[in-house]
Structure 1
C-alpha cells in the first residue's frame, strides 16, 4: 500500500534538526505509520545533527523503525571530510541535498521547513 502523504523535512541548520525530527515524529503520530512517508533531507550544518555520535540518534532510531527515511548531501560530506560511516546505517547519501528537495517536490512530495 502506498502512503497517502509524502513529506520532505528540510534540515540545513544543526540547531533546527531536533525540531525537524519532532515534526517528523508528529507527522507519523498524527497521520499514522504507513499513512505517511517522511524523508528528512540534511545538508550544510544540518548533517551534523544526524551523525551517529550525536544527541539525536535515539529519536532517529525510533523514526527509522516507523519507516522514516534520512538522507545527507554528498557535497556537504566531502566539504566536511565526513563519510557515510559517520551516520547510522539507515541514513542514505544523495549527490546533492538541494537537488533532492527539488526533484522530490516535482514528484509531488510536500515540503516542510521547520
Structure 2
C-alpha cells in the first residue's frame, strides 16, 4: 500500500522570517527523504513577504531555487504584489501567482494541507 503524501502549506508574511521559513522547509524535505515519506509542499506568501520572491529584491534566490528543485512550490499573493510594488515580470522563475493569499491558504487547509507558520 502506497503511503499518502505528507502535505504542508507554509505561510510567509514577514520578510524578517524568510530565512527561518526556508530553513524549516529544507528540514521538512530532508526528513521526508531520509524516511522515504512522499510529500507535497507549498509556500504561500502575502503581505511584505512577496518582496522576497522578487528577483531584484530577494536575498534568498538560491535557497528558493534549491527548494523548487526538491519539489517545493511557491505562490505569491497578487493583492500584496500590488501593495508592495512587485511586478510579475520581476518574480523569480517558477513562482506562481494566486489572486488572494489568504484564500489560497484556506483552500490548501481545506484540501488537507497542514498549516505551518514559523
Tell me if TM exceeds 0.5: yes
Q: Structure 1 runs of 4+ off > 3 angstroms?
A: none
Gaps of 5+ in 1: none
* The structure with more radius of gyration: 2
Instruction: Give the paired residue count.
Output: 114
Separation in 2, partners of 1:34, 1:51? 31
TM-score normalised by structure 2 residue count: 0.89
Matching residue within 93, 98, 102 for 1:98 = 102
TM-score computed with the length of structure 1 as normaliser: 0.92
> Which of 38, 42, 52 is the equivalent residue of 1:39?
42
Q: Aligned residue for 2:21?
A: 20
1:1-114 alignment, distance < 5 Å: 4-32=5-33, 35-53=38-56, 54-114=58-118
RMSD: 1.8
Residue deviations 1:37-81 (CA, integer Å, cap 9, x gap)? 111110001111222231100100100001100000000112223
Q: For residue 4 of structure 1, report the CA deviation from its aligned partner.
A: 1.3
Residues 19 and 60 in structure 2, CA contact (< 8 A), matched pair in contact too: yes
